[in-house]
Chains A and B, each alone.
Chain A
């Protein structure tokens, strides 16, 4: 024989179970959010010689960078249009009226940059460096466009390593330019120049976890 006393229904275990479940769910969710945030931050993590266009540049610098970001496409197109010749600074400012090269009111407010082109084409390697020296470093820093692409023997056209964006745009608050015949990533970085990285819409969506 086995005797069993039927106990009344009790809530205390249900409440305890609910509390444990809530703590567990909140804990797991918080952990997952923290992990996913770390992963997303890493996806846009910059190297030591890079700066973020959005976070690290201010006012006028951001404006100039935005103009340059658009101008490099035009320069690329003009290079083809001019028969594989890089457009001069004068052509960019006067003929093409292209910001930030055009010397208008905004140009004055943004530090009156003096732009110089260093053409370093060598055989099938076309390489151009546009350097903008600020005359008012309180208003904006110094900028530099580094462009490089290759032409194959049969004439077909290759852009640089980064096919989507065959330019790099560099920034330095302090003016210190390496020897003009030897301007490259390797010489710019020790001189204190930083490559500006712009987040694209895709990057931004990725950062926000919507991609």
Chain B
């Protein structure tokens, strides 16, 4: 079995000033599974993902148990704001994300082949010289996805990557993510499409400041639980 990671989160809490964003989160994900994170807007899903990346001032314990040695973590952000006049093309952008070498020197030779193949898979190869700011929302999302796949990640954290992607793009994304899963990688996928989650997820956790429910989709994504979270009449 290829490398993957078991993630264990214990009593994760986080506040921005007086605003408590996450409260006593307990969470587990196993290597080789797709663990979807759902929840209402503002429920702390993105903050949770950033905590896993060590980008927040969190309290509590986050443990990564790598099956073999410490592996690569890929991250696809939800949205990226980029200045329209920034002279960075697709290849430059990917170079910025994947290598230490300055991007103006081009993509590192050791990644060149994989970059070409990944862009080809994502149907973006013919736009590799386009300015990043010239791309449509869906195309940007494909590039953001591409950078997370190079080098091959053993943990992939996705923050609603399908938001602006068309149907064919979504299918390519799913196929690639499935391939990673087959190779033993762990996938944490923040998703808003509940129907899709039921199809692809091995486990699902709902976060609304704290973990509302967690388990296999079939057993936890029932009407009662979902209404509790997503109904406009929640709390009544």
Q: Please report A residues at the B interface, Cβ cutoff 8 Å.
A: 1-10
B31-59 interface code vs A (CB 8 A; 1 in, 0 out) = 00000000000000000000111111111
Which one of A2, A5, A10 lies within 8 Å of B62 (CB-CB)? A5
- B83 at the A/B interface (Cβ < 8 Å)? no
- B230 at the A/B interface (Cβ < 8 Å)? no
A9 and B64 in contact, given A2-B70, A4-B70 (Cβ under 8 angstroms): no
In addition to A3-B65, A5-B61, A9-B55, 5 A-B residue pairs with Cβ atoms within 8 Å of each other are A1-B65, A2-B69, A4-B70, A7-B54, A8-B58
Contacts of A10 in B (CB 8 A): 57
Within 8 A of A (CB), among B153-170: none
- B15 at the A/B interface (Cβ < 8 Å)? no
Q: Is the CB of B57 within 8 A of A8?
A: yes
Q: Is the CB of B56 within 8 A of A4?
A: no
Docked Cα-Cα span, A6 to B51, in Å, equals 8
Contacts of B64 in A (CB 8 A): 3-6
Q: 3 tightest A-B contacts by CB?
A: A6-B62, A2-B66, A4-B64
Q: Is the CB of A4 within 8 A of B66?
A: yes
A-B contact pairs, 6 of them (CB 8 A): A2-B69, A3-B66, A4-B64, A4-B66, A8-B54, A8-B57
Nearest chain A CB to B221 CB, angstrom units: 28
Contacts of B55 in A (CB 8 A): 9
Nearest chain A CB to B177 CB, angstrom units: 22
Contacts of A8 in B (CB 8 A): 51, 54, 56-59
A4 and B63 in contact, given A9-B55, A9-B56 (Cβ under 8 angstroms): yes
Q: Is the CB of B54 within 8 A of A6?
A: yes
Contacts of A3 in B (CB 8 A): 63-66
Docked Cα-Cα span, A3 to B70, in Å, equals 8
Q: Please report B residues at the A interface, Cβ cutoff 8 Å.
A: 51-59, 61-70
Q: Which residue of A lies closest to B52 (CB)?
A: A6
Nearest chain A CB to B29 CB, angstrom units: 13
Contacts of B70 in A (CB 8 A): 2, 4
Docked Cα-Cα span, A3 to B62, in Å, equals 10
Nearest chain A CB to B17 CB, angstrom units: 16
Nearest chain A CB to B137 CB, angstrom units: 29
Docked Cα-Cα span, A149 to B216, in Å, equals 106
Which one of B52, B61, B68 lies within 8 Å of A2 (CB-CB)? B68
Nearest chain B CB to A7 CB, angstrom units: 6
Nearest chain A CB to B226 CB, angstrom units: 30
Docked Cα-Cα span, A9 to B67, in Å, equals 25
Nearest chain A CB to B203 CB, angstrom units: 19
Docked Cα-Cα span, A10 to B58, in Å, equals 10
Q: Which residue of A lies closest to B57 (CB)?
A: A8
Nearest chain A CB to B169 CB, angstrom units: 31
Contacts of B63 in A (CB 8 A): 3-6
Contacts of A1 in B (CB 8 A): 65-68
Contacts of A2 in B (CB 8 A): 65-66, 68-70
Nearest chain A CB to B200 CB, angstrom units: 25
Contacts of A6 in B (CB 8 A): 51-54, 62-64
Nearest chain A CB to B149 CB, angstrom units: 21
Contacts of A5 in B (CB 8 A): 61-64
Docked Cα-Cα span, A69 to B61, in Å, equals 83
Docked Cα-Cα span, A5 to B64, in Å, equals 6
Docked Cα-Cα span, A10 to B70, in Å, equals 21
Docked Cα-Cα span, A164 to B190, in Å, equals 80
Docked Cα-Cα span, A6 to B53, in Å, equals 7
Docked Cα-Cα span, A6 to B61, in Å, equals 7
Docked Cα-Cα span, A7 to B57, in Å, equals 9
Docked Cα-Cα span, A6 to B70, in Å, equals 12
Q: Which residue of A lies closest to B66 (CB)?
A: A2
Q: Which residue of B lies closest to A5 (CB)?
A: B63
Docked Cα-Cα span, A3 to B65, in Å, equals 4
Docked Cα-Cα span, A8 to B62, in Å, equals 9
Q: Which residue of B lies closest to A10 (CB)?
A: B57
